[in-house]
């Protein structure tokens, strides 16, 4: 005996019987119209003057030409408009929101509102009151508020799909499974319903990858080159909420799937885009930040082998960077070195990497039999022992090796095959300065580290690292030599940090013990390195690189906050871990751990398909 089921009368209601409503008590169609109209008016408001004087940076006094923070509000308004039109089912915009547009509308509207109101408040505070606002300032405040109110009226949860009627025809069942949001009365997709993603030709996906890399280079260059503090704060607001909007709409996940299908091409494209960065700069001011970011990112990727793959909590990892830097400085011809030698760069690299490797083995051999918090405490002690030892090797408290707190200074610039890294060079009509030269060198070393990470992560030893990380007892029971596997991870991670240290010694000219603290206001230090791995995404390649770039760039740009710098930075980290605990670029396994209820059924469904 079979029981026949029928579809519910209201297809837009969830299975609980409660209509999907927003935070604001407005009808959904009115909220959607208000958000769309408000976003369009916001775009128009960016072409008006927001203040009467050019004393506020960015020159927001011009009609018909957005500048400074107005450009960011314009981008937010355009993004909100596109998501709103996509929610109406406008033909050609379905690709913009594969997971539904309503969440994207909310976050994009919030980004635009926050950036606009931050600008209006900053103008009022810095110039002495709201009297300094021009009509455009009042207009943009009103339109962004209306847009946000309209967006908050949209449903917060997507209605559950209707159950399939067994009496339906095969075509109707197919259409139901395809769309889960297809309105048969209007022949359009319902708002906030997932669109089916079509398979694209290879050339189209390659063009998408090129566009992604170009967008990433543009965003990074814009962020690192913001000429004044107010613009950088507005950039952080817009970039943060904008990324969240694209992620909630499913566009980030769709782009990740495309890059994963062309992984080798994506990695080469990312390095090519990074290599173009020095050509976007007119002087060494921001190229300096670029080379330091690469040093920090390379060390973070080496730590990712220890923490992300093997699951070993190392709180003294910055010491290996210091070992490599000191070893290279001692043999690179510095007048403060007790050794009267001047090795070529390739030999200094080998010395720095080998010294870090030896110290990694010496420290790891007696300590890696510990687990968890005990291992973390021992590695933290090693980091402090290294710094104190380097401070005491001054000829008074110990042998004269490191020149004590003064460090090893006057490290000469590199000269590789006649190419002087300290001099300017002309390349294709562009003048490349000292820090740009080191940027290219560090980019090459980063490529080597990425290659080592990829090859080791996909190897037999890499799978053993993951097994140890997930359950060491089970891995030992399956015959994995846990101590040997962990020691290899420790040694590989240490040697990679030593490679970066050799370049750091030549870039900074001086190596001192104070550069290698556990925690401090400016990275690299062990705390920031660990944060870069965790926040960026443990066990991934792009995660630590992006995390290190953010964690180095943001503190440098927030120096105007003075004593409140670390407070604001810590608050941002707390919010990021609250709303994206798996990291910016999550590993699929960790994503399932943090979002098991939401993602596990989908993952199981994909596996079964």
Given pLDDT bands bounded at 50, 70 and 90, which one contains residue 257?
confident
d(CA 570, CA 323): 29
Residue 179 has pLDDT above 70, yes or no: no
pTM score, two decimals? 0.79
d(CA 533, CA 596): 22
Residue 260 has pLDDT above 60, yes or no: yes
> To the nearest whole percent, how much of the chain has pLDDT over 90?
19
Residue 199, pLDDT score: 61
- DSSP at 195: P
How far is CA 70 from each of CA 52, 132, 419, 464, rounded to the nearest angstrom?
14, 16, 44, 52
Residue 188 lies inside a defined structural domain of this protein: no
Q: Which of 8-12, 172-176, 503-507 ranks highest by mean pLDDT?
A: 503-507
Residue 13, pLDDT score: 38
Given pLDDT bands bounded at 50, 70 and 90, which one contains residue 425?
confident
Residue 18, pLDDT score: 42
Number of DSSP helices (H) and strands (E) in the chain, helices first: 22, 6
Q: What is the mean pLDDT of residues 49-72?
A: 90
244 & 361 share domain: no
Q: Which residues pair with 332 in a beta bridge?
A: 342
Phi, psi of 157 (to 5 degrees): -125, 135
Q: The domain that contains 421 carries what CATH number?
A: 1.10.3470
Given pLDDT bands bounded at 50, 70 and 90, which one contains residue 601?
very low
Residue 586 has pLDDT above 60, yes or no: yes
Bond into 524 cis (ω within 30): yes
**CB atoms < 10 A from the CB of 33, how many?**
16
Residue 301 has pLDDT above 50, yes or no: yes
Phi, psi of 395 (to 5 degrees): 90, -10
241 & 369 share domain: no
The answer to whether 342 and 333 are in contact (CB under 8 A) is: yes
Q: Domain boundary at 189, 223, 252, which?
A: 252
Residue 564 has pLDDT above 90, yes or no: no
Mean pLDDT of the chain, nearest integer: 80
Residue 572 lies inside a defined structural domain of this protein: no
Residue 520, pLDDT score: 64
Given pLDDT bands bounded at 50, 70 and 90, which one contains residue 522?
low
Residue 183 lies inside a defined structural domain of this protein: no
How far is CA 360 from each of CA 115, 365, 492, 498, rounded to the nearest angstrom?
47, 8, 8, 10
Instruction: Mean pLDDT check: name the lowest of 164-178, 198-212, 590-604.
Output: 164-178
Residue 148 has pLDDT above 90, yes or no: yes
353 & 238 share domain: no
Q: With the CA atoms of 231, 233, 234 and 237 taken in that order, what torsion angle do they form, in degrees rounded to the nearest 10?
A: 160
pLDDT of 93-125, one tens digit each? Answer: 777 888 888 889 999 999 999 999 999 999 999
Residue 215 has pLDDT above 60, yes or no: yes
Residue 166 lies inside a defined structural domain of this protein: no
- Return the ∠ at Cα 532 (arms to 535 and 544), rounded to 5°: 90
Q: Domain boundary at 556, 576, 591, which?
A: 556
296 & 224 share domain: no
112 & 57 share domain: yes
370 & 237 share domain: no
d(CA 238, CA 234): 6
HSE, side-chain direction, 13 A CA sphere, residue 579: 12
DSSP H helices, 430-517, are 434-457, 460-470, 472-477, 482-508
Residue 124, pLDDT score: 93
Given pLDDT bands bounded at 50, 70 and 90, which one contains residue 24?
confident
Tokens representing residue 457 in the block: 């992560």
> To the nearest whole percent, how much of the chain has pLDDT over 70?
84
Residue 198, pLDDT score: 58
Which of 132, 240, 122, 239 is closest to 560 using CA atoms?
Answer: 122
Residue 174, pLDDT score: 40
Q: What is the mean pLDDT of residues 546-572?
A: 79
Q: Please give the tally of structural domains in the chain.
A: 2
pLDDT of 342-393, one tens digit each? Answer: 888 888 889 999 999 998 888 888 888 777 788 888 888 888 888 888 888 8
Q: What is the 3-state secondary structure (H, E, C) of 113-166?
A: HHHHHHHHHHHHHHHCCHHHECHHHHHHHHHHHHHHHHHHCCCCCCCCCCCCCC
DSSP H helices, 517-595, are 526-536, 542-557, 565-579, 588-594
456 & 318 share domain: yes
Residue 109, pLDDT score: 94
Instruction: Name the 3-class secondary structure at 587.
Output: coil
Residue 590, pLDDT score: 62
Given pLDDT bands bounded at 50, 70 and 90, which one contains residue 591?
low
Residue with tokens 């980290």: 573
Q: Which of 16-20, 51-55, 396-400 ranks highest by mean pLDDT?
A: 51-55
Residue with tokens 């952080």: 236
234 & 321 share domain: no
**444 vs 457, which has greater pLDDT?**
444
The answer for residues whose C-beta is within 8 angstroms of residue 479's C-beta and 6 or more apart is: none
Helix, strand, coil shares, percent, the chain, to 5: 65, 5, 30
Q: Which residues pair with 426 in a beta bridge?
A: 431
Residue 68 lies inside a defined structural domain of this protein: yes
Q: Domain boundary at 252, 273, 307, which?
A: 252
d(CA 425, CA 251): 41
* Region for residue 428 given its phi and psi (left: phi exceeds 0; alpha: psi -120 to 50; beta: otherwise): left
Residue 241 has pLDDT above 70, yes or no: yes
**210 vs 585, which has greater pLDDT?**
210
Residue 518, pLDDT score: 77
Residue 11 lies inside a defined structural domain of this protein: no
The answer to whether 287 and 437 are in contact (CB under 8 A) is: no
- Tell the burial category of 2 from Cβ atoms under 10 Å away from its Cβ (0-12, 13-18, 19+): exposed
Residue with tokens 């030992």: 476
Which of 465, 76, 422, 86 is closest to 250 using CA atoms?
Answer: 86
396 & 302 share domain: yes
Tokens representing residue 217 in the block: 């280079």
Which of 549, 548, 568, 550 is closest to 558 using CA atoms?
Answer: 568
Residue 172 lies inside a defined structural domain of this protein: no
Instruction: Mean pLDDT check: name the lowest of 77-81, 206-210, 312-316.
Output: 312-316
Residue 515 has pLDDT above 80, yes or no: yes
Residue 411 lies inside a defined structural domain of this protein: yes
d(CA 468, CA 474): 8
Residue 595, pLDDT score: 57
441 & 512 share domain: yes
317 & 233 share domain: no
Instruction: Mean pLDDT check: name the lowest of 217-226, 320-329, 332-341, 500-509.
Output: 332-341
235 & 296 share domain: no
Tokens representing residue 294 in the block: 């690469």
Instruction: Mean pLDDT check: name the lowest of 216-220, 262-266, 431-435.
Output: 431-435
Tokens representing residue 292 in the block: 């330091």
Q: What is the mean pLDDT of residues 455-459?
A: 83
Residue 316, pLDDT score: 85
Q: With the CA atoms of 572, 576, 578 and 581 taken in that order, what torsion angle do they form, in degrees rounded to the nearest 10?
A: -150
The boundaries of the domain holding residue 88 are: 28-159+215-252
């Amino acid at each position: 005996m079979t029981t026949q089921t029928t579809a519910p009368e209201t297809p837009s209601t969830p299975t609980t019987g409660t209509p999907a409503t927003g935070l604001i008590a407005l009808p959904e169609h009115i909220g959607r119209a208000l958000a769309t109209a408000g976003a369009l008016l916001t775009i128009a408001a960016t072409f008006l003057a927001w203040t009467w004087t050019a004393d506020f940076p960015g020159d927001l006094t011009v009609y018909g030409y957005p500048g400074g923070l107005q450009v960011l509000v314009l981008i937010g308004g355009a993004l909100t408009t596109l998501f709103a039109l996509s929610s109406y089912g406008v033909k050609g915009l379905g690709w913009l929101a594969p997971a539904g547009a309503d969440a994207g509308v909310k976050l994009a509207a919030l980004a635009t509102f926050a950036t606009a109101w931050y600008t209006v408040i900053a103008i009022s505070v810095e110039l002495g009151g709201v009297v300094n606002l021009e009509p455009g300032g009042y207009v943009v405040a009103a339109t962004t508020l209306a847009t946000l109110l309209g967006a908050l009226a949209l449903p917060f949860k997507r209605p559950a799909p209707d159950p399939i009627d067994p009496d339906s025809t095969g075509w109707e069942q197919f259409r139901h499974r395809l769309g889960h949001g297809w309105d048969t009365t209007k022949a359009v997709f319902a708002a906030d319903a997932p669109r089916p993603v079509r398979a694209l030709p290879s050339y189209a996906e390659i063009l998408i990858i090129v566009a992604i890399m170009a967008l990433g280079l543009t965003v990074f260059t814009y962020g690192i080159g913001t000429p004044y503090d107010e613009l950088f704060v507005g950039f952080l607001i817009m970039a943060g909420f904008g990324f969240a909007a694209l992620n909630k709409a499913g566009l980030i996940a769709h782009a990740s799937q495309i890059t994963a299908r062309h992984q080798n091409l994506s990695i080469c494209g990312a390095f090519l885009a990074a290599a173009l960065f020095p050509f976007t700069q007119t002087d060494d001011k921001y190229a300096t930040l670029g080379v330091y970011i690469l040093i920090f990112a390379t060390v973070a990727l080496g730590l990712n082998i220890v923490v992300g793959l093997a699951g070993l909590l190392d709180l003294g990892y910055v010491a290996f960077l210091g070992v490599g830097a000191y070893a290279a400085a001692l043999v690179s011809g510095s007048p403060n070195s007790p050794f009267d030698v001047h090795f070529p760069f390739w030999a200094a690299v080998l010395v720095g990497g080998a010294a870090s490797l030896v110290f990694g083995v010496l420290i790891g051999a007696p300590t890696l039999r510990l687990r968890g918090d005990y291992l973390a405490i021992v590695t933290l002690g090693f980091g402090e022992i290294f710094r104190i030892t380097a401070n005491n090797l001054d000829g008074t408290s110990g042998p004269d090796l490191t020149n004590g707190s003064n460090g090893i200074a006057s490290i000469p610039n590199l000269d590789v095959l006649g190419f002087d890294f300290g001099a300017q060079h002309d390349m294709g009509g562009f003048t490349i300065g000292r820090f740009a030269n080191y940027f290219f060198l560090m980019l090459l070393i980063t490529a080597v580290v990425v290659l080592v990470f990829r090859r080791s992560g996909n190897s037999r030893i890499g799978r053993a690292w993951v097994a140890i990380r997930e359950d060491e007892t089970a891995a030992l029971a399956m015959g994995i030599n846990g101590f040997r596997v962990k020691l290899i991870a420790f040694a590989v991670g240490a040697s990679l940090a030593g490679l970066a240290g050799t370049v750091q010694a030549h870039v900074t000219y001086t190596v001192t013990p104070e550069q290698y603290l556990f925690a401090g206001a400016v990275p690299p230090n062990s705390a920031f390195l660990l944060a870069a791995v965790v926040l960026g995404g443990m066990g991934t390649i792009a995660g630590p690189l992006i995390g290190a770039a953010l964690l180095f760039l943001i503190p440098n740009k927030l120096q105007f906050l003075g004593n409140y710098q670390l407070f604001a930075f810590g608050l941002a980290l707390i919010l990021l871990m609250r709303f994206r605990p798996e990291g910016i670029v999550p590993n699929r396994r960790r994503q399932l751990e943090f979002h098991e209820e939401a993602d596990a059924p989908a993952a199981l469904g994909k596996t079964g398909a």
